Amino acid sequence: MRSLLIIVILFTISSFLFSYATSDVHCVILTRWHMFVTNDISEDITVHVTSRRDDRGNITLPFQATYDWDFCETGQIVYAGQFWWGSKGQIMNLYDTEAWEACNNHKLWVTQHCYWLVRPEGFYIGTQNLPFPNDNWQFKKSWS
Ligand SMILES: *[C@@H]1O[C@H](CO)[C@@H](O)[C@H](O)[C@H]1NC(C)=O
C-alpha cells in the first residue's frame, strides 16, 4: 500500500516535470532522448529513420539542414538510418547501446541529446552540435 502511494507520487512529480519539455514527446519516469541528423554535404541527401515500431519515412535534407526526433527510452529501442547521397548509400544504427554510450551524460531527469553529422567522408556522432572539425565529433562510418 505504501509503495503504491510512492509510485503514484513519483508518477505525479515526473508528469509535472516533463510537462515543461519543449517537444511533443513527454516521458513519464523514462528518459527522453532527442536525436539530430545534420547534413554537412553541399548537396541534398535522403535519410529514412526507422525503429521496430516507428517508420519516419523518407526525409530530404539540404546542405546544413537538420532532421530531429525524440522518444522515451525503454532500454530496448534501436533506431536505424538508411542514407542516400547520389549513387552512395549507407545503413547504420543511429540509436543503439553504442550511441547510448557515446551520448548519454548520466544525468537523471534531463533530456539526452545525440547528434549525427553527415559529411562526404562519412558519419560522425557527438554530444553537442559544434562546428566541424571538433573533438566532439567521433567518426563512426564511411559511405559504402
Ligand atoms: C526513399 O528514397 C530513396 C532514395 O531517393 C529511394 O530509393 C527510395 O525508394 C525511397 N523510399 C520510399 C519509401 O519512398
Each residue's pLDDT tens digit, 49-63 = 999 999 999 999 999
With the most atoms of ligand 1 within 8 angstroms of its CB, the residue from 56, 60, 84, 143 to mutate is: 84
Q: Nearest Cα to 137, choosing from 38, 33, 43, 41?
A: 38
In the chain, the percentage of residues whose pLDDT exceeds 90 is: 75
Q: How far is the CA of 49 from the centre of ligand 1 (A)?
A: 12
What would you report as the CA-atom Rg of the chain, rounded to the nearest whole angstrom?
17
In this structure, is residue 2 part of a structural domain? no
Res 21: pLDDT: 43
Q: The C-alpha cell of 29 is what?
A: 519516469
In this structure, is residue 16 part of a structural domain? no
Residues forming beta bridges with residue 120, ordered by sequence position:
none
In this structure, is residue 1 part of a structural domain? no
Please state the φ and ψ torsions of residue 72, each to the nearest 5 degrees: -100, 130
Q: How many CB atoms lie within 10 A of CB 27?
A: 20
* Distance of alpha carbon 51 from alpha carbon 8, whole angstroms: 31
* Distance of alpha carbon 40 from alpha carbon 130, whole angstroms: 12
The whole-model pTM stands at 0.83
Res 144: pLDDT: 92
Res 25: pLDDT: 86
Q: How far is the CA of 58 from the centre of ligand 1 (A)?
A: 6
Domain count of the chain? 1
In this structure, is residue 106 part of a structural domain? yes
- CATH number of domain containing 42: 2.60.40.10
Res 22: pLDDT: 46
- Ligand 1 within 6 A of 46 CB? yes
What is the domain extent for residue 92?
Answer: 30-141
Residue found under cell 548537396: 43
Each residue's pLDDT tens digit, 61-87 = 999 999 999 999 998 999 999 999 999
Over 70: is that where the pLDDT of 44 sits? Answer: yes
In this structure, is residue 45 part of a structural domain? yes
In this structure, is residue 83 part of a structural domain? yes
In this structure, is residue 118 part of a structural domain? yes
In this structure, is residue 113 part of a structural domain? yes
Chain mean pLDDT for the chain: 89
Each residue's pLDDT tens digit, 3-33 = 666 555 555 545 544 444 445 788 988 999 9
